[in-house]
A and B are shown apart, each in its own frame.
Chain A
Amino acid sequence: MKPATNVRAYRGFFGITLLCLFILYAPLVVVTVYSFNDSRSITVWEGMSLRWYADVFVGPESGKFKEAAFNSFTIALVAATVATAIAVTSATAIVRAGRFRLRMPSLGLITLPIMVPEIVLAVATLIFFNSIGISRGYLTILIAHIAFCIPFAYLPVQARMQGLEDTFEQAAMDLYATRFQAFRRVLLPLMIPGIISGFLLAFIVSLDDFIITNFVKGAGVETLPTAIFGSVKQGIKPNIMAISTMLLGVSVIMVAISYFAAKWDNTK
């Protein structure tokens, strides 16, 4: 690797990069800072305080937010787990099972949820549940989340599997391991970094979703985004900023885990 020559460098690009980061972070930083504001009003700064964090846990709206958080995290956990399992089996079929007629159509189907605009998927899912007469609630949210999480779990899994030679499994099978043992004992352990990345991406996408959840949720079942949206419509209150800051923390932790998982090379 030779050092960067001036052929590569363009004046001004560094400045634009800083601008880019500024734009990406300014709103988040502002909300984080104001979440520690002691004031009841969001416009006046009255000194540092954790009162809005306390408010989230014991304030008048705490029941609503706790329930929404419970729904959000359980749905994300189940949806991401199921979606990742489906992603692993389908990636095995698409990357490790030769060429066959349904290979590209399968890939197309798996990536369909990210090709279709979210609002369209939301409308379609609502109409579907309505026409087959399933009343909306926790279960409909969960089903919808599993479906649209699949491509997000799939892509990192596929990327990892493509990066792995199949020599390890071939060697195992040469040593009389069954195909299932090869999968279970050789491929799966090697896949762990990809599986973690896929799971986390699906988890965060599920946690993030507003539009589809808003369409398919039923009576009294809220997730954090729909609960926050409901609150925000009546004005941004300081407790919303506290919740946002906590969710931001969750995101940063997850992206860090995902980052290290992606770098983890366990083939050696």
Chain B
Amino acid sequence: MKTYDLPDKRGHFGPYGGTFVAETLISALDELCTKYEYYRDDAEFQAEFFHELKHYVGRPSPVYHARRWSAYLGGAQILLKREDLNHTGAHKINNTVGQALLARRMGKSRIIAETGAGQHGVASATVAARYGMECVVYMGSEDVKRQATNVYRMKLLGATVIPVDSGSRTLKDALNEAMRDWVTNVNNTYYIIGTVAGPHPYPMMVRDFQAIIGNEAKKQMLEEYGRQPDALIACVGGGSNAIGLFYPYIGEENVRMIGVEAAGKGIDTQEHAATLVTGRPGVLHGNRTYLIQDENGQIIETHSISAGLDYPGVGPEHAWLKDCGRAEYVAVTDDEALAAFHALCRFEGIIPALESSHALAYAAKLAPTLNKNQLLLVNLSGRGDKDMITVAQQSGITL
């Protein structure tokens, strides 16, 4: 494989990515691009970023061998990259720290963010508090109801949460509203996008901040196992935790990369969020990528038990990795994810996020087909404390 150097200057990953936004946003994106490209290579910026990751986030996160679960499954050894141990409980904080540091250098005093389940909102509110910035989080009014704990968490951290009543009242509507705020208040406002989607430079920038996951893993694998894993497995909604793990491995051709999407109630039903597995390319939220859409190009509402995977698009770099065959994308259902959730609780004493449980569910399918010397590295992107109410409901329990 040639040296991988995507995206191009304008943010294209093959035919995907790019800058598909209204003219009113172009100058803000140009400014962001220029500043990011400068600070990406700035030693002082990088030093502060890594200092914060170490002392505030708690990195590096360990690679943990899930011995009892692997033995039970009776095949490949399952290793977990423990992003669940980060401050705030998920990988999201890697990116919000990076973008908040950039916002500060750009002289922006106000940050805005969109959130679905609330995890990115919490991670944004957290860094806003840490760096003394005003924070406004847009959240679909349906999600505000479903995620009351995270809404309260954001308020505790000093953020203003604005419920969005338009459209389906979920993540994509919150994203639309955040874009509108940014267009209107771009002079003092920095928009922190939480995933590897949106217009250039977001997919590249968020990837770069999340690449700490794969860079650490490569080093840890060599140190502890003397080799790299046979496959990487990560869940894909927008795809930031997956790209964070995959990106440093793109050139390692012997390492399979497997992205796991949410099949919801089944990919043959209308209720899923398996964008790469079932979708078609189109343009949404500033980039060209695979989308879940109807025959007329209207975006369809998605479903997943895990709010963090409930999104009708996907990062453009994943679209490219799928088309060029470097990564594989599969989907697992709500039920399969729940089964893996319970298995990890019982076998390893780790309560995983429902998002990460999708990656675990696929590992549980794949491991028994491989031999005991093979290694699967699963990105345990977040912890499941936030999912207690959802999981209890699935078991018919009211908390």
Do A and B belong to a common assembly? no
- What is the interface of chain A, defined by CB distance below 8 A to chain B? none
